[in-house]
Amino acid sequence: MSKPIDRRDFLKLAGLGGVVFASGLPGVTLGAGQDDFYFVQLSDAHWGFEGPPNPDAKGTLKKAVAAVNSLERQPDFIMFTGDLTHTTDNPVERRKRLSEFKEIVKDLKVKTVRYMPGEHDASLDNGKAFQEFFGATHYTFDHKGVHFIVLDNVSDPRASIGDEQLGWLAADLKQQKNDAPIVVFTHRPLFDLYPQWDWATKDGAKAVDMLMPYKNVTVFYGHIHQEHHHMTGHIAHHAAKGLMFPLPEAGKAPTRAPLPWDPAQPYKGLGFREVDADTKAADNKITEFPVVKA
């Protein structure tokens, strides 16, 4: 069996995203001699952003790539859950940013890297530029017995999934067994986390309703630039931190403006999580780690 990722490796990923083990997912039962696997979720790189909230705006993504590459045991794949780039009204600049982002992440050792758009990438042109560089904005794939579904709730600038994609989701779910381990990736939360800051998906409840009959569903998303864990019934929703700047907790600040950079405590407010589980109980256990090694 492969050497498991250790605490030092986790710390290398401090502030850079989420590490998710298959054994931490409900419904995944590893057979004798079967390797566990894990994937890394990276989110909200906002390539192209410039400003005081991150004096290292040009360097953070490259550091994330280096940190992932330095892991002794490499993840099976990496998932970027949107906002690869920071929005721009200029379509030429948008493509330049997407191109630069793609060039930087090309250095990842792991060659299975999957992408989905955030509203910064896709909402101004319905995902056109994103698709030119990264292909489809919603799709499925299977990996070692886990069914993964990537849902696009950003290409519509109204923050909707849309009936067409919901129909596609329904058709895909029909092919799944009731107890199949299913992981859903989205950019925005599927539930109303805080609509006052647009932290919601207008028709997200329809997707959650479709997923509800399935016993082992976990949702990973980005958008809010911070750890957040929420349950809709038996479905867990986990938000990842961003790679550019943290945002305030919902409603805890007058606006959703990025938190200021603290030179005394760089990367303050960032961190990472480990998701592990008692597979028999199909119950996630979340361990939070501070961003700075004590």
Partner 1 sequence: MIFGKKTLRIVAAATVVTIGSLGAYVAAQSAEPKEKVIKITAKKFNYIPGEVKLKKGVPVILEFRSQDVLMGFNLPDFNVRADIVPGKATRLRLTPDKTGTFVFLCDIFCGTGHEEMNGKLTVVD
* Interface contacts to partner 1, rule CB under 8 A: 87-89, 119, 123-124, 154, 157-159, 195-198, 255-257
Which C-beta is closer to partner 1: that of 88 or that of 99?
A: 88
Which C-beta is closer to partner 1: that of 231 or that of 257?
A: 257
Which C-beta is closer to partner 1: that of 123 or that of 131?
A: 123
Instruction: Work out how close the CB of 88 gets to partner 1 at its nearest, in angstroms, rounded to a whole number.
Output: 6
Which C-beta is closer to partner 1: that of 156 or that of 274?
A: 156
Instruction: Work out how close the CB of 197 gets to partner 1 at its nearest, in angstroms, rounded to a whole number.
Output: 7
Distance CA 141, CA 133 (A): 19
Instruction: Work out how close the CB of 120 gets to partner 1 at its nearest, in angstroms, rounded to a whole number.
Output: 8
Instruction: Work out how close the CB of 287 gets to partner 1 at its nearest, in angstroms, rounded to a whole number.
Output: 31
Instruction: Work out how close the CB of 59 gets to partner 1 at its nearest, in angstroms, rounded to a whole number.
Output: 22
Which C-beta is closer to partner 1: that of 114 or that of 202?
A: 202
Instruction: Work out how close the CB of 157 gets to partner 1 at its nearest, in angstroms, rounded to a whole number.
Output: 4
Which C-beta is closer to partner 1: that of 178 or that of 255?
A: 255
Which C-beta is closer to partner 1: that of 122 or that of 207?
A: 122
Identify the sign of the CA torsion 158, 164, 170, 173.
negative
Question: What tokens appear for 96 in the block?
Answer: 């330049």
Instruction: Work out how close the CB of 182 gets to partner 1 at its nearest, in angstroms, rounded to a whole number.
Output: 28
